[in-house]
Chains A and B, each alone.
Chain A
Amino acid sequence: MESMVEHDAVPAADAGGGGHRMTWLEARGIRLSRGPASAGPLRRAVDGRVFGGVAAGVARRTGFDAGLIRAVLVIGTLVTSGLFAALYVAAWLVIPGEGTDTAIGTRALTDKRGIGLALALTSLLGVGLVIASALHAAWITGLAVPLLVCAAGLVLIARNAPESERQYLRELSDPVATNGSGRRSRRLLRIGLALLLLTGGLATLLDGHEKTYQLLQPLAGVVLLVAGFTLAFGPWWLRIWRDLVAERQARIRAEERAEMASRVHDSVLQTLALIQRRADDPHQVTKLARAQERELRSWLFDGRAPGSLDDEAGTVADGVRLIQQEVEAQHGISVEAITVGNCELDEELTALLAAAKEATVNAAKWSGAPVVSVFAEVEPESVSLFVRDRGRGFDPAAVPGDRKGLAESIRGRVTRRGGTATIRSAPGEGTEVSLVMPRLASGSAHGASSGTPAGRMPRRP
Chain B
Amino acid sequence: MNAPHQGAGFTARPRVFIVDDHGMFRSGVRSELSGDVEIVGEADDVAPAIAGISRCLPDVVLLDVHLPGGGGQEVVAAVKPDHPEVRFLALSASDAPEDVIAVIRAGARGYVTKTISGPELVDAISRVAAGDAVFSPRLAGFVLDAFASGIAGDIDRPSFDSELDQLTAREREVLRLIARGYTYREVARELFISVKTVETHVSSVLRKLQLSSRHQLTRWAAERRLT
Contacts and interface: CB of A to CB of B under 8 A. Distances in A.
- Are A and B associated in one complex? yes
A282 B115 contact: no
Contacts of A450: 149, 153
Interface stretch (A8-16, A52-60, A337-345): A337-345
Nearest to A390: B181
A282 B24 contact: yes
A337 to B, nearest CB: 9
B226 interface: yes
User: Size range of the interface on B?
Assistant: 20 to 34
A126 interface: no
Nearest to A284: B115
B18 to A, nearest CB: 16
A416 interface: no
Given A370-B117, A386-B180, A388-B180, A451 B141 contact: no
Contact of B180 (A373, A452, A460): A373
A446 interface: yes
B119 to A, nearest CB: 12
A457 B227 CA distance: 5
B85 to A, nearest CB: 31
B148 interface: yes
A439 to B, nearest CB: 14
Interface in B210-227: 216, 219-220, 223-224, 226-227
Given A339-B141, A459-B227, A451 B28 contact: no
A334 B113 CA distance: 12
B220 A451 contact: yes
Interface residues on A, range: 20 to 34
B140 A338 contact: yes
B138 A338 contact: yes
B114 interface: yes
A388 B181 contact: yes
Interface string A446-461: 1011111000110110
A336 interface: yes
Interface in A362-381: 370-373, 375, 377, 380
Nearest to B216: A451
Interface in B123-173: 137-138, 140-141, 144-145, 148-149, 151-154
A340 B145 contact: yes
* A-B CB proximity, top 5 nearest: A373-B181, A338-B141, A449-B152, A451-B149, A375-B180
29 contacts: A283-B114, A283-B115, A287-B115, A334-B115, A336-B113, A336-B137, A336-B138, A336-B181, A338-B140, A340-B145, A341-B145, A370-B117, A371-B117, A372-B181, A373-B180, A373-B181, A375-B180, A377-B179, A386-B180, A386-B181, A446-B152, A449-B148, A449-B154, A450-B149, A451-B149, A451-B154, A451-B220, A452-B223, A456-B226
